[in-house]
Chains A and B, each alone.
Chain A
Amino acid sequence: MSRIISVHSFRGGTGKSNTAANVAVLLAAEGQRVGVVDTDIQSPGIHTLFGLNQEAVRFSLNQYLWGTCDILQAAHDMTASLDAGLRGRVYLVPSSIKANDIARVMRDGYDVGLLNEGFRQLVKELSLDVLMLDTHPGLNEETLLSIAMSNTLAIVLRPDHQDYEGTSVTLSVARKLNVPDLVLVVNKAPPVFDPEQVRERVETAYACEVAAVLPHSDELMALSSAGIFALRSPDHPVTGLLHQIAARLTA
């Protein structure tokens, strides 16, 4: 059965897009057909991880929401450019990075309900096993819709006081929306932290499962926004943890 997985964080800079992109590619490596939608229309970015040249992109999520293209026209098959050896497929629906397009979204808005239709069409027409939604930080209307539609919600947080309260708010809202599967991903943990201890404390504080505790990694930071870390460093311990997250999100 197909499923929608939202990867969210209340604040920016948690590594949400990196986590989403890596998990998507690892699932495709296992043979799954995966769609990724950048619903962070106000500050898009996940396309850079996939190496998508936006100059050459004619249709994005913005054009779909303004009714100037079909959602399938905005879905770009990234499989071959990522790694010709991937057994599954990865489709990316980017948000536009053009300043005019972003300004128009901020000024005029769009019919949020169209997202629902678009997501469903993607899942059906592309025979997706998984649709991953890279959300905008905070809890605006499109993020709430993404969460409501999700079979699984992964909330990425740092072991940092700035993230604790927002994560609590997001979990409460998701529970009120009866999201069937909630999971936390702790990212950028300083290497001196004991991951098991962090996991235990976070699980106790939020009464929610932690899929993995990822350490702050200089190598990941160096590659961030410039490629899929799990593909470039398949034997790195962080890649092992990303596998763990991918397995948990699709369990």
Chain B
Amino acid sequence: MTERPGCVLVADDDMVNRLLLARGLERDGHRVRAVANGLEALEALRDGLFDCVLLDVLMPGMDGYQVLECIRSQPKFRHIPVIMISALDDIESVVRCIEMGADDYLPKPFDAVILRARINAGLARKRLHDLEQEYLENVGHVVEAAADVETGRFESRQLDGVAGRDDALGQLARVFQRMAAEVRSREDRLKQEVRQLRIEIDDARAARQVAEITQTEYFQDLQAKASKLRLGPDSQE
């Protein structure tokens, strides 16, 4: 049994091949969906999440080339590794498939060791892609969180998923959560302060300061002529 099983789609019009492939893969712990032609293969892809596709080149109706073209043209599927099934003497078609975006090929008749090696390599590529995708999505969550902090809509739990990572991005998310919580708490304290905004004036001290100014000769002189100093009806001019 393989260490990291996946979900594999097998498309082959030859029933014996199909069964052999499915049995071999299931023995290794993979989940398998086996279909007999290209159309069924595309329907299965639309219905489920697959980690790898084993695709026979020659099938009635929609052949392997057309299915491969369709897989590579759709963003939803284009990252799924595709291994073409081909007879050893059909190298030309193998080359064509690789040029069209197939990841590998599996020669007929099958060898269990080669099958396992090809499948594991395909699944490893898929896992790497999924990890990259997940990483980018998590970076996106952090960027989104930064925008939410700006608009005051940030909730700490929205980064819980990223903060659970054990890499540098996870650390960034945890630091971000902590800093955002500190800023929020500071803002809350300020809001609390304004709710309690009290303008406290020491009246006695203020009165002393006023007296110091208003009891001077200069001030009293100014006070006496203030209305005449101002522009208006009582003005000096």
Seen from chain A, the residues whose Cβ lies within 8 Å of a Cβ on chain B are 1-4, 116, 120, 123-124, 139, 141, 144-145, 148-151, 159, 161, 164-165, 168-169, 172-173, 176-180, 190, 192-194, 197-198, 201-202, 205-206
Report yes or no: B210 in contact with A164, Cβ–Cβ below 8 A: no
Shortest CB–CB separation between residue B223 and chain A, in angstroms? Answer: 6
Report yes or no: B226 in contact with A141, Cβ–Cβ below 8 A: no
What is the chain B residue whose CB lies nearest that of A139?
B213
Other A-B contacts than A165-B206, A176-B210, 8 sampled, CB-CB below 8 A, are: A149-B226, A168-B206, A169-B213, A172-B210, A176-B223, A197-B194, A201-B198, A201-B199
Report yes or no: B232 in contact with A1, Cβ–Cβ below 8 A: yes
Chain B residues in 8 Å Cβ range of A168: 201, 206
Report yes or no: A177 in contact with B205, Cβ–Cβ below 8 A: no
B237 within 8 A of A: yes
Q: A148-B222, A150-B230 are in contact. Are A201 and B200 (CB under 8 A)?
A: no
B197 within 8 A of A: yes
Chain B at the A interface: mostly helix, strand, loop or mixed? helix
Shortest CB–CB separation between residue B131 and chain A, in angstroms? Answer: 40
Report yes or no: A201 in contact with B232, Cβ–Cβ below 8 A: no
Number of A-B contacts (CB under 8 A): 89
Chain B residues in 8 Å Cβ range of A179: 226
Chain A residues in 8 Å Cβ range of B210: 169, 172-173, 176
Report the separation of the CA atoms of residues A148 and B226 in the bound assembly, to the nearest whole angstrom: 5
Chain B residues in 8 Å Cβ range of A145: 222, 229
B113 within 8 A of A: no
What is the chain A residue whose CB lies nearest that of B208?
A169
Q: A149-B230, A178-B226 are in contact. Are A198 and B197 (CB under 8 A)?
A: yes
When A and B form their complex, which 4 residue pairs have the shortest distance between CB atoms, in order from nearest?
A: A205-B199, A148-B226, A172-B210, A192-B190
Q: A168-B206, A169-B206, A177-B222 are in contact. Are A202 and B232 (CB under 8 A)?
A: no
Q: A193-B194, A198-B194 are in contact. Are A151 and B231 (CB under 8 A)?
A: yes
Report yes or no: B223 in contact with A165, Cβ–Cβ below 8 A: no
Contact residues, B56-87 vs A (CB, 8 A): none
Q: A2-B231, A141-B218, A169-B206 are in contact. Are A164 and B226 (CB under 8 A)?
A: no
Report the separation of the CA atoms of residues A116 and B231 in the bound assembly, to the nearest whole angstrom: 11
Seen from chain B, the residues whose Cβ lies within 8 Å of a Cβ on chain A are 187, 190-191, 194, 197-202, 205-207, 209-210, 213-214, 218-219, 222-223, 225-227, 229-232, 236-237
Q: Identify which of A116, A173, A205 contacts B229 (C-beta below 8 A).
A: A116
Report the separation of the CA atoms of residues A179 and B232 in the bound assembly, to the nearest whole angstrom: 12
Report yes or no: B197 in contact with A197, Cβ–Cβ below 8 A: yes
Report the separation of the CA atoms of residues A99 and B200 in the bound assembly, to the nearest whole angstrom: 39
Chain A residues in 8 Å Cβ range of B237: 120, 124
Report the separation of the CA atoms of residues A116 and B197 in the bound assembly, to the nearest whole angstrom: 40
* Residue with the greatest number of chain A CB neighbours at <10 A, chosen from B194, B214, B237: B194
Q: Can you list 21 A-B pairs, Cβ within 8 angstroms, ordered by A?
A: A120-B231, A120-B236, A144-B219, A144-B222, A148-B222, A148-B225, A148-B230, A164-B201, A169-B206, A172-B207, A173-B210, A176-B223, A177-B222, A177-B223, A178-B227, A190-B190, A190-B194, A193-B197, A198-B194, A201-B197, A206-B199
Shortest CB–CB separation between residue B234 and chain A, in angstroms? Answer: 10
Report the separation of the CA atoms of residues A168 and B213 in the bound assembly, to the nearest whole angstrom: 13
What is the chain B residue whose CB lies nearest that of A159?
B197
Report the separation of the CA atoms of residues A224 and B210 in the bound assembly, to the nearest whole angstrom: 32
Q: Identify which of B201, B214, B227, B232 contacts A165 (C-beta below 8 A).
A: B201
Shortest CB–CB separation between residue A140 and chain B, in angstroms? Answer: 10
Report the separation of the CA atoms of residues A144 and B219 in the bound assembly, to the nearest whole angstrom: 8
Shortest CB–CB separation between residue B199 and chain A, in angstroms? Answer: 4
Shortest CB–CB separation between residue A200 and chain B, in angstroms? Answer: 10
Shortest CB–CB separation between residue A225 and chain B, in angstroms? Answer: 27
Report the separation of the CA atoms of residues A125 and B62 in the bound assembly, to the nearest whole angstrom: 96
Q: A144-B218, A144-B222 are in contact. Are A151 and B206 (CB under 8 A)?
A: no
Report yes or no: B229 in contact with A148, Cβ–Cβ below 8 A: yes
Q: Identify which of A2, A169, A180 contacts B209 (C-beta below 8 A).
A: A169
Report yes or no: B194 in contact with A177, Cβ–Cβ below 8 A: no
What is the chain A residue whose CB lies nearest that of B231?
A2
Chain B residues in 8 Å Cβ range of A173: 210, 213-214, 219
Report yes or no: B200 in contact with A3, Cβ–Cβ below 8 A: no
